[in-house]
Amino acid sequence: MDSVLRGAAIYCVVLIIVRLTGRRALAQMTPFDLVLLLIVAETTQQALLGDDFSVANAAILIVTLFTIDIGLSYIKEYWPTLEKVMDGRPTLLIGNGRQDERALARARISLKDVMMAGRSQHGLERLDQIKHAILETDGNISIIPAKSD
Amino acid sequence: MSSARTQGLDLDDDRPFQERYWRWQRGAWAVFALIVIAALAGLTGSGGPLSRASASGPGGEVEYPRVARWDASDDIRITLPASGARTAHVEIDRAFSDVFEVEVIQPVPAASAATAMGLRYRFDLGAANGPRRIVMHVRPLRPAMATPLRVRIDEAPPLRLTPIVLP
């Protein structure tokens, strides 16, 4: 019983903390984020397993985590509000070439980040070549370039 | 506030929801900071200026973790006042044994007995003209929210300990 409760508790805690920290922490992989991910993984591992290193415990935990994941995906399908709360909605950062300063600031995204996405996705050179920029729910920035004349 | 749809984008955004989320997010960051400060102060156990509490009476003083953590070792220190007594008795109640597993006691008790209250330890004391100390290394067996535990030193009225055990 302990393994299932531990698994569920850690799943919820990590989910809530990651969701409230913001999407960017997930998608960006700067060296600092890599360190953060490694430390979080190591810390949760200890809380998950406790002092029980048996194969049974590991198997129960893995099954628990996958079951929660599958269960949540079904619940989200029938209960869109939960999906909105858990996964969020995409945010328009630049619309028709107009920057939404408030959205950029609140989502902690600089124009440098937007330009980086523009360069890597479309080889854009300047900000005015971007028509729309959208912060997706997975933390990535999608760029729709302006039509070249 | 411009909606994505009005800009010809088939995007399922929800700006009012997003604004609410950002407000919640900022609130959560403040809570994160408070948790870190509380942890540094010792309110989440495992060291810190506020991590220990004590209860004292005529029999002596018991210093214990104000906040302990489930399955993490901690210690309870009993200080006996200076006296000529060559033995001391420490009695713990059943609630104590339910919350804490006693791993090691130093000095090792000369005898222990089950009593109506719970468990009674007898310690042999050497001749000394200062206070004597008994250290119990304990491990919380389950989470507890300030469950009152009683410890009695010799014939003095029992002392009440109210440790919180975090899951």
Q: Does domain B52-166 have CATH number 2.60.40.350?
A: no
Whether B9 and A132 lie within 8 Å, measured CB to CB: yes
**Residue range B32-59, pLDDT digits in tens:** 999 999 999 999 888 888 999 999 999 8
ipTM, two decimals, is: 0.79
Q: How far apart are the C-alpha atoms of B114 and B25, rounded to whole Å?
A: 54
- Looking at chain B, the whole-number percentage of residues with pLDDT higher than 70 is 96
What is the residue extent of each domain of chain A?
Answer: 2-87, 91-145
The pair phi, psi for residue B35, each rounded to 5°, is -65, -45
Tell me the average pLDDT of chain A.
87
pLDDT tier for residue A149 given thresholds of 50, 70 and 90: low
**Residue range A34-53, pLDDT digits in tens:** 888 899 889 888 888 877 88
Cβ–Cβ under 8 Å, residues B134 and B126: no
For chain A, the helix, strand and coil percentages under 3-state DSSP, each to the nearest 5: 65, 10, 25
Q: How far apart are the C-alpha atoms of B46 and B51, rounded to whole Å?
A: 7
Tell me whether the omega of the peptide bond preceding residue B167 falls within 30 degrees of 0, making it cis. Answer: no
- Looking at chain B, the whole-number percentage of residues with pLDDT higher than 90 is 61
Chain B residue at shortest CA distance from A105: B22
pLDDT tier for residue B135 given thresholds of 50, 70 and 90: very high
How many CA atoms lie within 13 Å of A11's alpha carbon, on the beta-carbon side?
19
**Residue range B142-164, pLDDT digits in tens:** 999 988 999 999 989 999 999 99
Chain B residue at shortest CA distance from A51: B71
Q: How many CB atoms lie within 10 A of CB B86?
A: 10
pLDDT tier for residue B71 given thresholds of 50, 70 and 90: confident
Chain A residue at shortest CA distance from B72: A50
For A91-145, CATH number out of 3.50.50.60, 3.30.240.20, 3.60.150.10, 3.40.50.300 equals 3.30.240.20
What is the residue extent of each domain of chain B?
Answer: 12-41, 52-166
A90, A95, A100 ranked by CB distance to B12: nearest: A90
The pair phi, psi for residue B100, each rounded to 5°, is -115, 135
Least confident of A19-23, A128-132, B69-73: A19-23
A20, A22, A84 ranked by CB distance to B17: nearest: A84
Question: Cβ contacts (< 8 Å) between A84 and chain B: which residues?
Answer: 14, 17
